[in-house]
């Protein structure tokens, strides 16, 4: 999505950058259904409706440099005169009073056009396509490989499902770690789309055909990704009946939105919408039957020796609601593999070239490697993603940097913009799956050491802190990738426009945003996080007595 940088539409790059991110989310190469304003995750939308979208754009164009636009669940509701130090956009999305925070109430309110589902990065306009989840997926399988297979998935079979906007990162991440992967998807057209973008290598029309590929490539210990046309619940059951045990099993179907997005056994994707509308009770019944079969198959494969984990779509929670027995018999990917990274404030940091020039991203790739030359993992990631991933929409990059690396990188980026070394400003943002930005007991905060899984003060504090530090856009949301009632999460974006004021804001925003995450994990009694807080004096004197009190107890 190239732009003429000399002709911005807004009164400054702060507003223009946010507007371009909003438009980028609806780029046909990125969005699931741009005509419906749906970006990813089944129903994740950038705005409540088309009228709201146009009003948001109009307000961003006319917004003064000391104004703040307020967005309520995808609808603009007010512009207030605040300060040049304040955010230009503040958002709240899908927030419901806890007692009423359930799918039934949400659906009723949505029908009245009083709210909408923003997922996470769709609602906060920071979605960057499959690359957004790719490094987290790559990191996850890399951690699995390190722990179980001496650092490589070569010669290993991974079974998963779901090739939607988020799930499409799975085959690339697995093959990037050397493995062979079967990704099941019920929608043949989606598999064809992933073939065209090289997200998968081959398509198989049957399990037998897929297994022929598997046999060949496992023997050669060469990577291959296979898109298998089929229903995940049925295919997983077939692995059991044929006594085939993959090395790793996970899933990324849209189980977080069971009724609206998950396709049950015996139903074609093109039939689903009509059946939901004509006979919702029947559809609900067959969905429940399918999800129970799905989770049982995963449990059975675990008993047979497969490494099994929930990949963040709340399939276990959905199965529990449907009546499955003990669906939480296997862990989720964060509590099992990624939590040590969160303890050091390392997470899904990302940046986007607002100029549309890919060279801006390649220059920042070089920068991140020069700033952190001793990080072998980072070097492997940059090399991998440059060779395996084509830009979609605005060129972007994601790297799991920690709370000290992010502000250093951000300051240098801002100076590069100031000196004209880049074609235009850079939007610096992140996924909502960060250390301080989410409370999600079935995903990010599952099985916390101190039992604080459901404590949602942290993402609220995170949003307040980012607002006080002057991020360009700050939002607080509910639901995310696990569904209505299951998480509270916050988003943040700051536009590096080269100004001195932005440089000062970057120092605070990019340190305190992830730094609060270190404090969150220190408070939960993780020693690695406590050591960082004490050694770096993070949070200063306000926090140290709390840690000492816990140690004394």
Lowest mean pLDDT among 110-114, 405-409, 456-460, 540-544: 540-544
- From the centroid of its chain, how far is CA 445? 15
Q: In sequence order, what DSSP letters do the residues of 248-302 get, joined into one string?
A: EE---SSGGGHHHHPPPTT--HHHHHHHHHH-HHHHHHHHHHHHHHHHHHHHHHH
- pLDDT of the residue at 260: 84
pLDDT band at 133 (very low <50, low <70, confident <90, very high): confident
CA 136, 138, 141, 146: dihedral to nearest 10 degrees?
A: -100
How far lies 265's CA from each of 268, 271, 393, in Å?
A: 8, 12, 35
Q: What does the pLDDT average to over 292-318? A: 95
Cross-strand partners of 67? 81
**423, 415, 301: which is closest to 367 by C-alpha?**
415
pLDDT band at 540 (very low <50, low <70, confident <90, very high): low
How far lies 425's CA from each of 235, 272, 339, 355, 428, in Å?
A: 47, 43, 32, 7, 10
Q: What does the pLDDT average to over 34-54? A: 94
Tokens read off for 50: 């088309």
Look-up of token digits 């992010």: 406
The yes-or-no verdict on residue 551 having pLDDT over 70 is no
Q: For the chain, how far is it from start to end, CA to CA, in angstroms?
A: 56
Rg (CA), the chain: 23
pLDDT in tens, 82-108: 999 999 999 999 999 999 999 999 999
Phi, psi of 85 (to 5 degrees): -80, -15
List the catalytic residue out of 10, 25, 399, 469. 399
Q: Name, in order, each residue with C-beta under 8 angstroms of 312's C-beta and a sequence gap of 6 or more.
A: 252, 332, 333, 334, 433, 443, 481, 482
Q: Is the distance from CB of 437 to CB of 489 less than 8 angstroms?
A: yes
pLDDT in tens, 440-470: 999 999 999 999 999 999 999 999 999 999 9
- pLDDT of the residue at 225: 97
How far lies 535's CA from each of 117, 519, 543, in Å?
A: 41, 12, 12
Is residue 76 within a helix (H) or strand (E), and if so which, with residue range?
Answer: strand 75-81
- pLDDT of the residue at 552: 40
Is residue 203 within a helix (H) or strand (E), and if so which, with residue range?
Answer: strand 202-204
- pLDDT of the residue at 168: 86
DSSP collapsed to 3 states, 226-257:
EEEECCHHHHHHHHHHCCCCCCEECCCCCHHH
pLDDT in tens, 498-524: 999 999 999 999 999 999 999 999 999
How far lies 97's CA from each of 101, 103, 119, 217, in Å?
A: 6, 13, 18, 52
- pLDDT of the residue at 72: 98
SS3 content of the chain, % helix, strand, coil (to 5): 50, 15, 35
Q: In sequence order, what DSSP letters do the residues of 79-123 get, joined into one string?
A: EEE--TTS-SEEEEES---GGG-SHHHHHHHHHTTS----TTTTT
State how beta strands 89-93 and 67-72 pair. parallel
Q: What does the pLDDT average to over 280-306? A: 96
- pLDDT of the residue at 389: 81
**Angle at CA 189, nearest 5°, toward 188 and 192?**
90
- pLDDT of the residue at 1: 43
The yes-or-no verdict on residue 2 having pLDDT over 50 is no
Give me the domains of the chain, ranges plus CATH numbers. 13-30+47-117+339-552 (3.40.1770.10), 131-330 (3.40.50.10730)
State how beta strands 44-45 and 38-40 pair. antiparallel
Tokens read off for 55: 């009003």
pLDDT in tens, 332-358: 999 999 999 999 999 999 999 999 999
The yes-or-no verdict on residue 165 having pLDDT over 80 is no
pLDDT in tens, 199-258: 899 999 999 999 999 999 999 999 999 999 999 999 999 999 999 999 999 999 988 888
- pLDDT of the residue at 543: 54
Alpha-carbon distance of 199 to 178, in angstroms, equals 15
How far lies 36's CA from each of 40, 46, 104, 266, 329, in Å?
A: 11, 10, 22, 27, 37
Q: What does the pLDDT average to over 422-430? A: 98
Active site residue 25: no
Whole-number percent of the chain with pLDDT over 90: 85
Alpha-carbon distance of 202 to 226, in angstroms, equals 5
Average pLDDT, the chain: 93
**242, 234, 241, 244: which is closest to 266 by C-alpha?**
234
DSSP collapsed to 3 states, 177-195:
CCCEEEEEECCHHHHHHHH
Q: Is the distance from CB of 477 to CB of 489 less than 8 angstroms?
A: yes
Q: What does the pLDDT average to over 77-86? A: 98
pLDDT band at 553 (very low <50, low <70, confident <90, very high): very low
The yes-or-no verdict on residue 25 having pLDDT over 70 is yes
- pLDDT of the residue at 197: 83
pLDDT band at 541 (very low <50, low <70, confident <90, very high): very low
The yes-or-no verdict on residue 4 having pLDDT over 80 is no
Q: Name, in order, each residue with C-beta under 8 angstroms of 15's C-beta and a sequence gap of 6 or more.
A: 60, 61, 63, 65, 88
């Amino acid at each position: 999505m190239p732009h003429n940088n000399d002709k911005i539409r807004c009164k400054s790059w702060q507003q223009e950058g946010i507007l371009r991110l909003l438009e980028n989310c609806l780029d046909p190469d990125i969005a699931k259904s741009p005509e419906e304003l749906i970006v990813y995750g089944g129903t994740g939308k950038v705005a409540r409706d088309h009228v709201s979208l146009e009003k948001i754009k109009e307000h961003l164009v006319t917004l003064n440099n000391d104004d703040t636009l307020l967005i309520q669940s995808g609808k603009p509701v007010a512009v207030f005169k605040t300060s040049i130090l304040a955010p230009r956009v503040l958002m709240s999305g899908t927030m419901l009073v806890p007692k009423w925070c359930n799918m039934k109430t949400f659906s009723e309110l949505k029908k009245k056009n009083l709210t909408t589902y923003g997922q996470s990065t769709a609602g906060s306009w920071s979605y960057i396509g499959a690359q957004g989840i790719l490094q987290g997926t790559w990191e996850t399988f890399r951690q699995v490989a390190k722990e179980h297979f001496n650092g490589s998935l070569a010669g290993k079979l991974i079974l998963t499902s779901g090739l939607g906007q988020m799930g499409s990162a799975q085959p690339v991440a697995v093959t990037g770690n050397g493995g062979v992967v079967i990704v099941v998807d019920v929608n043949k057209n989606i598999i064809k789309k992933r073939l065209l973008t090289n997200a998968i290598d081959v398509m198989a029309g049957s399990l037998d055909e897929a297994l022929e590929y598997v046999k060949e490539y496992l023997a050669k210990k060469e990577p291959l990704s296979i898109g298998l046309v089929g229903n995940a619940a049925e295919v997983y059951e077939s692995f059991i009946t044929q006594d085939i045990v993959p090395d790793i099993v996970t899933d990324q179907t849209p189980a977080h939105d069971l009724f609206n997005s998950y396709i049950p056994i015996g139903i074609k994707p093109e039939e689903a919408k009509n059946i939901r509308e004509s006979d919702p009770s029947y559809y609900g019944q067959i969905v429940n039957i399918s999800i129970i079969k799905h989770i049982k198959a995963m449990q059975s494969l675990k008993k047979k020796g497969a490494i099994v984990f929930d990949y963040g779509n709340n399939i276990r929670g959905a199965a529990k609601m449907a009546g499955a027995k003990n669906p939480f018999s296997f862990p989720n990917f964060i509590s099992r593999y990624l939590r040590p990274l969160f303890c050091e404030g390392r997470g899904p940091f990302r940046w986007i070239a607002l100029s549309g020039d890919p060279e801006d991203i390649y220059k920042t790739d070089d920068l991140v490697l020069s700033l952190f030359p001793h990080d072998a993992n980072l070097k492997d990631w940059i090399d991998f993603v440059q060779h395996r991933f084509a830009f979609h929409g605005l060129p972007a990059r994601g790297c799991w940097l920690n709370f000290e690396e992010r502000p250093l990188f951000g300051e240098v980026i801002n100076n590069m913009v100031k000196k004209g070394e880049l074609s235009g400003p850079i939007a610096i943002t992140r996924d909502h799956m960060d250390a301080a930005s989410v409370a999600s007991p079935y995903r990010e905060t599952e099985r916390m050491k101190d039992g604080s899984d459901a404590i949602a003060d942290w993402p609220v504090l995170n949003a307040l802190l980012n607002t006080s530090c002057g991020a360009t856009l700050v939002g607080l949301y509910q639901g995310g990738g696990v569904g209505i009632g299951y998480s509270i999460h916050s988003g943040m974006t700051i536009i590096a426009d080269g100004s001195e004021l932005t440089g000062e804001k970057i120092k605070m925003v990019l340190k305190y945003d992830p730094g609060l995450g270190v404090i969150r994990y220190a408070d939960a009694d993780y020693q690695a996080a406590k050591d960082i807080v004490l050694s770096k004096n993070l949070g200063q004197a306000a926090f140290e007595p709390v840690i000492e009190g816990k140690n004394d107890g």
